[in-house]
Structure 1
Amino acid sequence: MKKILSLLLVVVMIFSMTACGQNPAGDGNGGKPYKAALLLNGTLGDKSFFDSANQGLEKLKAELGADKFDFKVEQMGATPADEPKWEPTLLEYCDGGEYDVIIIGTWQMIDALEKASEQFPDQKFMFFDETYNFEERANNNNIYNVLYKQNEVSYLIGAAAALMTTDGSLPMIDPSNSNIGFLGGMENPIINDFLVGYIQGAKEVNPDVKVKIAYVGDFWDSAKGKDLALTQYQSGGVDIGYNVAGAAGLGQIEAAADAKRYAFGVDSDQAALLPEKADFIPTSALKNVGNSLIRAIKLDLEGKLEYGTAESLGFAEGGVEIVKDAHYEKMVPENIRTQLNELEQKIVNGEIKVDTALGKSTEEIQAIKDSVQ
């Protein structure tokens, strides 16, 4: 009788393990590594957004081991000549059925994602840095959408820029003017969300601040980005700017170095990645794309990631931050760092509500731009 009971207990345990779905990292994939494909509508080496995503996956692979997690990066290119291959490449990866999840980002991929998710309902997708409208678009149960409160981190950068341009403690700054710059890639809701936060933060500490605004028109043409930034520095009276333009934004950092002015980095720690130009980069605004992907994949490995939903990560959730290291302490005066810490805490506490471009009309965005001209 005891042998029978023991046998039954073993059977029940095996059944329970099977019924519970995925086990923690690697064990729920039938002994195979969990595989991700990161499809970039751009290239690595942007020192920014795409590099952050890749570095996050590299970090996760090192942490879990290749026997538990592995990934492939597909660099599809960012130029107009590359665009026709974005959707076919995505569909090809889906058709192969090799990957547990396919990761893509940016507004330029949203239509292709909708088509792929509809054609391949069993394929899981992670979509970052653009809103996937689950109410209006197809097949919302196989997509996890992660967003970042870029308006929050840009609020701090705007405050820092407005304070530093009149502080006088840094060389190459004329404290008699209050002009700061903004260089966007393409004008879209996400880039304008950076801008709206930037303007609000700048006006918080200096209501008379002026913001020179330019858009490259893409996220890859660094030469054009440099030309636009040089115009701001040389003709617009700008001492310090903010690049939100992917690889094109590297042109602003080059312009800052040439003009002996300053530029805030974005998406990755650009002072660390560009040490030869670090003296012109006080700090960088980070969207923790890599960390958000690590978090999402770990949840998926545990069977806990909620597909068909969107999350927006800000300061409170660790989704955004500014780099605060020895370089930052060297470049940014202590009194300004103290003010920035206080502003950040007020955002976390809800004392400061940072405005957003998301959901605003073109006319409303223009009115915000006009307020700092």
Structure 2
Amino acid sequence: MKKLTALLLASSMLLTAALTGCGDSDDGGDSKKSEIKSIVYVTSNLGDKSFADISWKGVQEAGEELDIDVKVIEYGTDSKSKMEPTLMDAADTYDLVLFSQGEMLEILEKHAEEYPTKRFIAYDIDPNYDNKLSNCFCINYVQSEGEYLAGALAMKMSQSKVIGFVGGADGVLIGDFMVGYIQGAQSVEPSGKVAVSFIGNYTDAPKAKELSNVQINTNKADVVHQVAAGAGLGVFQACQDAGCWALGVDADQREYFIDSDPELAKVILTSMTKRNDIALKEAITLAVKGELPFGTLEKWGVKKGVVALAENDYYKEQVPTDVQTYIDEQRQKIADGEIKVQSAYGMEQEELNSIRNNAKP
């Protein structure tokens, strides 16, 4: 796995990155462009109709436009032990490797110097991460900004002024979604309530349905937002049974069900999308051109257009015009910096608990 020449090349890693990673000179850009002949996307599993699938879509589109071979490697949902060998095998074989999750980034930190001529793009990374890897570009999605819009929309559409939030794992990542969602909801209705539940994983759809049923039947939530990847199917099913609205996440999830389950699709009013397809396509294109600033972390949010509500035809049909206008105004205010959205990253647990408890029905 470790190449014999890597030890000799490692000492020149910073120089290599300076010449080829950021495109600071014409020679660097041309050299970088010629280096990337193959690209691989490493993920746990495709088929989640959400985060992983939309990421792969962006990689594929970039490959087609750039006429570069792209592949996907799946290491398995419950196979954390396979993360390290999978990532290293990918780096052995491909010129540009893309992945998400802080765990994968920690693995790369241990091995980055073994691959001084290879390039990595890590996305959905902690905004406070100090990127010192000169051959890796990191993207942080400011999802709390998109969630502010989702919460505002949910509260505008709610009759009971109680909305729901069903998350996967109870951690800082999903907490960041929750904080933005609650802030957006209470900007519309300061006394409005947000019922919050966590499944504990991203695969247990029956538990997600059970938690949603409690929010709907006990708390009287009439709009429920799922932030639970594949487990979110249970939220949609609960909303379908109850005849209330659901909000999807990451991808435009209604699109995935229009043909396979049109009745289920009808309950998905919109989704808070993290446009990994747009972000990864852009990052790959810049990398191939030699213009991607490796060794840095950038925060891409509403202003960049990579976190947004899916404003498809169904959204435009179902959401009143005045509400659409309101959401558009809020989006612009976020982009202009007029609205500052809170983030769970760097937030004390006591404050996070307070935000959740103060919104509790």
> Which TM-score bucket, shorter chain as reference?
0.7 to 0.9
Q: Is 1:39 aligned to 2:36, yes or no? A: no
Partner of 1:317: 304
Residues 240-270 of structure 1 deviation map (CA, whole Å, 9 limit, x = unaligned) = 1111111112221122112222110111111
Alignment partner of 1:63 out of 59, 62, 65 = 65
Identical-pair percentage: 35
Where do 1:106-117 residues align within 5 Å? 106-117=101-112
Shift of 1:328: 0.5
Q: d(CA) in 2 for partners of 1:331 and 1:127? A: 36
Residues 305-349 of structure 1 deviation map (CA, whole Å, 9 limit, x = unaligned) = 111100111111122111112110112111211111111111112
Q: d(CA) in 1 for partners of 2:254 and 2:178? A: 21
SS state of the match for residue 236, structure 1? coil
Shift of 1:76: 1.5
Partner of 1:162: 155
SS state of the match for residue 292, structure 2? coil
Alignment partner of 1:268 out of 251, 256, 260 = 251
Where do 1:23-38 residues align within 5 Å? 23=30, 28-29=34-35, 34-38=37-41
Q: d(CA) in 2 for partners of 1:326 and 1:133? A: 37
Shift of 1:122: 3.5
Q: Is 1:353 aligned to 2:353, yes or no? A: no
Contact 2:273 2:308 in 1 (8 A): yes
Greater Cα shift, 115-124 or 314-323: 115-124
SS state of the match for residue 345, structure 1? helix
Amino acid at match of 1:34: K
Residues 96-139 of structure 1 deviation map (CA, whole Å, 9 limit, x = unaligned) = 2x21111110234232232232443433211110227654x7x5
Shift of 1:222: 1.9
Where do 1:329-340 residues align within 5 Å? 329-340=316-327
Partner of 2:77: 78
Q: Which has the higher contact order (CA 8 A, sep 6+)?
A: 2
Where do 1:216-231 residues align within 5 Å? 216-231=199-214
Shift of 1:74: 1.0
Q: d(CA) in 2 for partners of 1:160 and 1:151? A: 14
- Superposition RMSD on alpha carbons, in Å? 2.0
Q: d(CA) in 2 for partners of 1:118 and 1:236? A: 53
Change (3 A) 1:88 1:151: same
SS state of the match for residue 229, structure 1? helix
Alignment partner of 1:20 out of 18, 27, 39 = 27
Contact 2:33 2:287 in 1 (8 A): no
Change (3 A) 1:355 1:134: closer
Shift of 1:149: 1.1
SS state of the match for residue 311, structure 1? strand
SS state of the match for residue 46, structure 1? coil
Where do 1:235-250 residues align within 5 Å? 235-250=218-233
Change (3 A) 1:132 1:335: closer
Alignment partner of 2:98 out of 75, 100, 103 = 103
Change (3 A) 1:27 1:117: closer
Contact 2:271 2:309 in 1 (8 A): yes
SS state of the match for residue 284, structure 1? strand
Contact 1:90 1:116 in 2 (8 A): no
Partner of 1:14: none
Q: d(CA) in 1 for partners of 2:318 and 2:38? A: 41
Amino acid at match of 2:55: A
Amino acid at match of 2:52: F
Shift of 1:69: 1.2
Shift of 1:34: 2.4
SS state of the match for residue 125, structure 2? coil
Amino acid at match of 2:72: V
Contact 2:174 2:227 in 1 (8 A): yes
Q: Is 1:140 aligned to 2:127, yes or no? A: no
Higher-Rg structure is 1
Contact 1:35 1:100 in 2 (8 A): yes
Q: d(CA) in 2 for partners of 1:366 and 1:133? A: 21
Shift of 1:184: 0.9
Q: d(CA) in 1 for partners of 2:325 and 2:154? A: 14
Q: Is 1:341 aligned to 2:328, yes or no? A: yes
Partner of 1:128: 123
Q: Is 1:368 aligned to 2:351, yes or no? A: no
| Unaligned runs of at least 5 residues, structure 2 | 1-24
Change (3 A) 1:226 1:195: same
Change (3 A) 1:134 1:120: farther
The two structures have a TM-score, normalised by structure 2, of 0.87
Q: d(CA) in 2 for partners of 1:259 and 1:371? A: 26
The two structures have a TM-score, normalised by structure 1, of 0.84
Q: d(CA) in 1 for partners of 2:103 and 2:248? A: 23
Q: d(CA) in 2 for partners of 1:154 and 1:27? A: 36
Contact 1:132 1:145 in 2 (8 A): no
Amino acid at match of 2:270: T
Partner of 1:5: none
SS state of the match for residue 214, structure 1? strand
Change (3 A) 1:44 1:35: same
